[in-house]
Amino acid sequence: MLRGFYTAASGMISQQRQQEALSNNIANANTPGYKSDQATLRAFPEMLIHEMGNRNIPTTTGLNLPTQNPLGTLNTGVYVHEMVPNHGQGDVKETGIGTDLALVNGTLPDETGSLFFTVQNEDGEVRYTRNGNFTVDGQGFLVTTQGYYVLDQAGNPIQTDGMEFQVMENGTLDVAGQQIPLGIAYTANANDFEKEGNGLFNGEAGAIPVGTTFSVQQGFLEQSNVDALQSMTSMMESYRMFETNQRVLKAYDESLGKAVSEIGRLG
């Protein structure tokens, strides 16, 4: 009975974590470049159940041998194994703002591959983002809305001197006749990246491989790839599963309470 108690509890905890992921997705449905999280559930190792018994051997001494008859397997519950971001391309929306840039995937050599803008966080470390909602700070550098430097292909902050600039589709900035290639990086497996908040990813990325096609659109932003309607439907399904496990847990609790009270009266 206690095993069933914990199995139902693990189901409730898993559905709660899934609810949190879905709620976070919906909250970021309007965040540019946001990649939705998907919770992956995994079962705990199954247990093989045996019936323990004895078999009498017709001997003069009346020998008894223990026996084990397999009955089947018992599942001990589920847990959230990991949160996997969906790196699919989001819709592109026109903003008309010259510092907004949308990175649009074309042909990628790997199904799990993706392209990213390269930025520098407050600790001076390289990070990656799909959020092209950039601006120019008081010193003339191209930065994110959080103030992180946007890097060029050489890994240096991009200085615009506060001047207007044009961005070509190949990701090159034209600032007063000076050509500055944006630091666009590629990874063959975006699922290896770790989310850090503020639209940043931490991981290993490198140069764009041959055969990769993409475009950078100025005055556009890549929107979140969250499907709000599907997320709401998934939330309702997850809530129903939570309630089901809750009812099972309550039934086990009532059975335990009844067993304790009856045993107490017998004593």
Q: Tell me the domain boundaries of the chain.
A: 2-83+250-266, 88-222
Low-confidence ranges of the chain (pLDDT < 50): none
User: Can you read off the two tokens belonging to residue 136?
Assistant: 């120019």
pLDDT tens-place string over residues 14-30: 999 999 999 999 999 99
pLDDT tens-place string over residues 36-54: 998 888 777 777 776 777 7
Q: 3-state DSSP call for residue 58?
A: coil
Helices (H) and strands (E) in the chain, counts: 2, 19
For 52, counting Cβ atoms within 10 Å of its Cβ (0-12 exposed, 13-18 middle, 19+ buried), the class is exposed
User: What pLDDT is recorded for position 264?
Assistant: 60
User: Can you read off the two tokens belonging to residue 87?
Assistant: 């790196």
User: What pLDDT is recorded for position 131?
Assistant: 95
Strands 63-74 and 184-187: what pairing? Answer: unpaired
117 CB contacts (<8 Å, ≥6 apart)? 101, 103, 128, 129, 130, 131, 132, 150, 182, 183, 184
pTM listed for this prediction: 0.78
> Could you tell me if 195 and 85 are in contact, meaning their C-beta atoms sit under 8 angstroms apart?
yes
Q: Phi, psi at residue 67, to the nearest 5°?
A: -125, 155
User: What pLDDT is recorded for position 7?
Assistant: 83
User: Can you read off the two tokens belonging to residue 129?
Assistant: 């983002």
CA-nearest of 185, 162, 158 to 173 is 158
With tokens 């390289």, the residue in question is: 126
Q: Phi, psi at residue 70, to the nearest 5°?
A: -65, 130
